[in-house]
Amino acid sequence: MITNKTFPWVKLSFVLILVISGLLAFDVNKYGSFKDSSTGHFLQDIGALTYFEHAYTRVQIFSIMIFKWCLKNIPVYYGIVKETTAPVLAVVKDMIALCIGHFFRVINILAEYTAEKVPVVIDILNAYAPGLFETVQNYSFETWSFLSTYLMQLFHLIIQYIIIVIEWTKVNIFVGKLSPENLQKYTMDAIETTHNVATQTFAWLSQQTEQISI
C-alpha cells in the first residue's frame, strides 16, 4: 500500500527562518548595527524603515507593559504553585535555556558559514554566468520593494484596526463584572478555592489512610 507523504512545511519554515535569521545576523554583525546594515539601508530607501521602527517601538512598549504585569502578578501565582510544581518548573527552565542556547549556536554557525560560503558562490556564478548575480539581486530588490510597500500599508492598516478593536473591547466588553480587576479577583478566588479543596482532600485521604493502617 502506497501512502502519500505530506510536504514538510514545518521543517521548511524552520529552515527558512534559520536562513533569514542567519543572513540578517551576518548583515548586522558586518556593519555593526541594524540601521547601518544593508537591510536597514534598504528599508530606509523604500521608505519602510519608519514603519519598522514604529512597529518595533509598539512591540517594545507592549513588552514593557507585559514585563511590568509579570513582575507584579507572577510572584503571586508562582508562590501558590511553587511547592507542587518546583521540579517541573526546574526541568522546563533547563529545557528552555538549552533550546535558546542551541538556537543561538545554530544562528552563529549559520552566520559564519554564510560569511564564508556566500563570496565563493558569487565568484562561481560570476565565472559561469557573468552578471547573473547582479541581475538576480536587482530583480529581487525590485520585487521586494514592490511587495514591501503594500505589505507595510497592509500591516499599518491591520495595526490601526487592532487598536480600534482593543479600545472598543475596553469600553464595551471588559467593564463591570468583566473588568480586568474583577477578572483578576475571580482568578485569585478560583485558585484559592482550588487550593483549599485540594488541601482538604489531601487531609481527608491522609486520615482515611491512617484509619486503615490502624
Residues 69-128 pLDDT 10s: 777 777 766 666 666 666 776 777 788 888 888 888 888 888 788 777 777 777 777 777
Let me know if residue 194 belongs to a domain: no
What pTM, to 2 d.p., does this model score? 0.28
The residue range of the domain holding 123 is 12-173
Angle between helices 49-128 and 180-213 (to 10 degrees): 80
pLDDT of 58 higher than 80: no
Instruction: Confirm whether 209 is domain-assigned.
Output: no
How high does pLDDT run on average in the chain?
72
pLDDT tens digits, 130-168 = 777 777 777 877 787 777 777 788 888 888 888 887 777
User: Does residue 192 sit within a domain?
Assistant: no
Q: Where are the beta strands (DSSP E) in 12-141?
A: none
Give pLDDT, residue 28.
66
Does 6 fall in a domain? no
In a domain, 90, yes or no: yes
Domain count for the chain, please give it: 1
Domain assignment present for 7: no
% of the chain at pLDDT higher than 70: 61
What is the DSSP-derived secondary structure letter of residue 173?
T
Does residue 197 form part of some domain? no
* DSSP string over 44-81: HHTT-HHHHHHHHHHHHHHHHHHHHHHHHHHHHHHHHH
